Chain A
Amino acid sequence: MTTRWDALRARWPRSNGHWSLRPRATRRPAPATVIYRWDLDKTYLKSDFESLRKMMRVPFERARDKIDEPGVVALIRALKASALREQRTAFVYFISASPPQIGRAIREKLALDGIEFDGILFKDQLQHLVRGRFRLLREQVGFKLAELLRARLSAPAGAVEFLFGDDWESDPIIYSLYADVIAGRLEHDALADILVRLRIDPARLVEIKALSQKIAPADAVRRIFINLERRTPPDRFRSFGARLVPTFNYFQTALVLYEEGVVPLAAIVDVGRSLLERSAYSAARLRNSLDDLARRGYVAPAAAVALRAELEEAGVLPSTGVLGLWPRQLWRRWRRRRQRARAPMAPAIAAAAIEYPRLIDAWVASGSRLGGEPS
């Protein structure tokens, strides 16, 4: 028989032998098999394509010249390590529209960073050049979508996917389309219409349609993370739905992945520490990042409260320093926390079908290039 005492104990868990006044946050259970698909430039690497001169320099860069995005190395290492620790299967793949000629430097860079990966795919630009298919040199939506679908065909059944891209090119559209195609949410005619709007090469269009027909429908993509490298206003991604999470740094990404149950708290701490030690972040910047994510609704209020406390204890976030506050303020703070903790968990944005035609038109009109530089 459950006593009132047991109920109280369940509500207020013990932490380090002391009674904690923090309510337990609910996380999603971790899937058994997870695939993490990463874009390379501007997502993993801080590639500089701002000028033609800088772009031309990229193929000649050595591994040690390449700079990774702050926190990304710690996060990818944590993805693999946590799966290993919890006896789950995790695959890390990279996909890039850059030519395979830079592959050696990239592989060396990944080795230098201590990243274990299961595959890396480049776009064979030379083949297009030899065949005179110049239009395909700059096209990346069709290339990435086709390759993602091909990769899905060989993925283990039931594998859940997390996709990582950036706000420079067309990653939000490519990843969202991919997620909806493998979930069986897009009819073949609708898909064809979208691909035409995206000005995909006819041969590639046929290939994508054929691949999509072969895939057994499964709602496998849980989250699409877009690294806001260009600081694109998050509002612009609202029409992609709650599945797509625009994040300003990899600390925010780690927080959402923790909520998804695929990394432990230690992973957030690792990413936070890497930002503090390697990228001159301050604890206050990390706290602001967590608060921003909570305000945008990607971390539930109760979870944000619990996370803040845990990360303060780990020394990643600055201590709130409650000592010295007036009792009345303390009481207000306590009451506010309880109210937040009682609030039901809700998704940030109501899940709704994406209106691709409207979205693509708006995306093109707003100046986002579909195709263009390699990503």
Chain B
Amino acid sequence: MPVIAVDAMGGDFAPDEVVKGVARASLGTAIECVLVGDEPRIQKILESVSYNPEHISIRHAAEFVEMHEPPKEALRAKRDASIVVGAKLVAEGHAQALVSAGNTGACILACARHFRTIKGIRKTALASVYPRQTEYPGQDQLALLLDVGATIRCDALDLAQFAVMGSAYARRVSKVERPRVGLLNMGAEPFKGGDVLTEAYQRLSALPGIDFVGNIEGNDVAKGRADVIVCEGYVGNVVLKLIEGIAEVVTDVASNAVKRRFMWRLGMMLLARGIREVAHLADYTKYGGAPLLGFEHLFLKAHGRSTARAIENAVKVAAKAVRDGVPQEIAAGIEAVR
């Protein structure tokens, strides 16, 4: 069974929710987790919940990076921060993957400092799954969007590499045999979007082993045309936050409508089951987290507001990605297109 290092001190509700999530994972699976953080605090939380100690170990880390801290300065000042200790554990081979719900910048920086990038990869990418429409029965309800924040600007080669990495992840983790890859752009035509996106289009069309379906516009993101969508980190992050924001607005509008008129309330009651299903589909706690692809080791970034359930799922996804050999699949994919 894979060993997963979990940053116990990262996240808005850390360490309570993180430790509880790992405790839940320890009861339901045989995954071994190493909780990294303040040992006495972690132990105290553990003892207050059901857990299986056979699957949990604790590695003490005296410091942690707060969510609001500037990553570079924080890592410089806190050499024994939980995220750094966790990254070192993975780099030294004591664990196979790292999970954190903490400061994203600090997480990426800690990984960049301690993990080696896969040979041939120029930039790593943070990938995120999101719910989308399906076009045919049996199609996965989730698509992959990358990069969503590990980079800001990329060139055409980086985007092509993102496609290889995203395809490998979708093949191994989502079990999509031949993932369809799309390039996020402002138009469907190949010449749209400026030099970088035009060149990226050409590169992706010519890539062997990649099922490139062309440019994907904003209104197609939530449709089932592509299983993997590649874009720059800056754009990807905006898209991801937009999807999250829309889901929140819909919920908010619905709850306001309920308060205003009796008939609307009645209507909402009739729609309740459907709304619950939509909410269930959009529930980020189900998906675990966003994998940082391109390193020899795996890092899974869980949502900052992760609850115990989200952490439990993040641990399971990380273990699955390790078992399915995602970094090895990416390395093979990159090697094939070099």
Contacts and interface: CB of A to CB of B under 8 A. Distances in A.
Interface of A: 231-235, 248-249, 281-282, 284-289, 291-292, 295-296
B48 A235 contact: yes
Contact of A232 (B50, B53, B54, B55): B50
Given A296-B43, A296-B47, A231 B57 contact: no
Contacts of B43: 295-296
Nearest to A293: B53
20 contacts: A231-B27, A231-B50, A231-B51, A232-B50, A233-B49, A233-B51, A235-B47, A248-B52, A281-B54, A282-B1, A284-B57, A285-B32, A285-B54, A288-B32, A288-B55, A288-B57, A291-B58, A292-B53, A292-B56, A295-B43
Contact of B50 (A233, A284, A289, A295): A233
B12 interface: no
B54 A233 contact: no
Interface of B is mostly: mixed
Contacts of A285: 32, 54-55
B39 A295 contact: yes
Contacts of A282: 1
A288 B53 contact: yes
A282 B3 CA distance: 13
Nearest to B54: A285
A295 B53 CA distance: 11
A282 B32 CA distance: 11
Contacts of A281: 54
Nearest to B48: A235
Interface in B1-46: 1, 3, 27, 32, 39, 43
Contacts of A291: 53, 57-58
A249 B52 CA distance: 10
Given A231-B52, A248-B52, A286-B54, 11 more contacts: A231-B27, A231-B50, A232-B50, A233-B51, A235-B48, A284-B32, A289-B53, A291-B57, A292-B53, A295-B58, A296-B47
Nearest to B34: A288
A347 to B, nearest CB: 16
Contacts of B1: 282
Contacts of A234: 47
Nearest to A252: B53
Contacts of B32: 284-285, 288
Most chain A CB inside 10 Å of its own CB: which residue of B3, B27, B53, B56? B53
A282 B57 CA distance: 14
A50 B148 CA distance: 47
A248 B55 CA distance: 11
A64 B105 CA distance: 58
Most chain A CB inside 10 Å of its own CB: which residue of B39, B43, B48, B54? B54
B323 to A, nearest CB: 16
Contacts of A231: 27, 50-52
A7 B303 CA distance: 57
B54 A289 contact: yes
Contacts of A295: 39, 43, 58
A295 B38 CA distance: 13
A245 to B, nearest CB: 13
**A-B residue pairs, 5 tightest by C-beta:** A292-B53, A285-B54, A231-B50, A235-B47, A235-B48
Contacts of B56: 288, 292
B220 to A, nearest CB: 47
Most chain B CB inside 10 Å of its own CB: which residue of A286, A291, A295? A295
Contacts of A235: 47-48
Nearest to B49: A233
B55 to A, nearest CB: 7
A282 B52 CA distance: 14
Contacts of B50: 231-233
Given A288-B32, A295-B39, A233 B48 contact: yes
Interface in B53-106: 53-58
Nearest to A231: B50
A296 B27 CA distance: 19
Contacts of A287: 57
A343 to B, nearest CB: 14
Contacts of B49: 233
A188 B32 CA distance: 50
Contacts of B52: 231, 248
Contacts of B53: 248, 288-289, 291-292
A291 B42 CA distance: 13
A291 B48 CA distance: 17
B48 A248 contact: no
A175 B122 CA distance: 65
A288 B54 CA distance: 5
A289 B57 CA distance: 9
A232 B52 CA distance: 10
Nearest to B27: A231
A282 B2 CA distance: 12
Contacts of B55: 285, 288
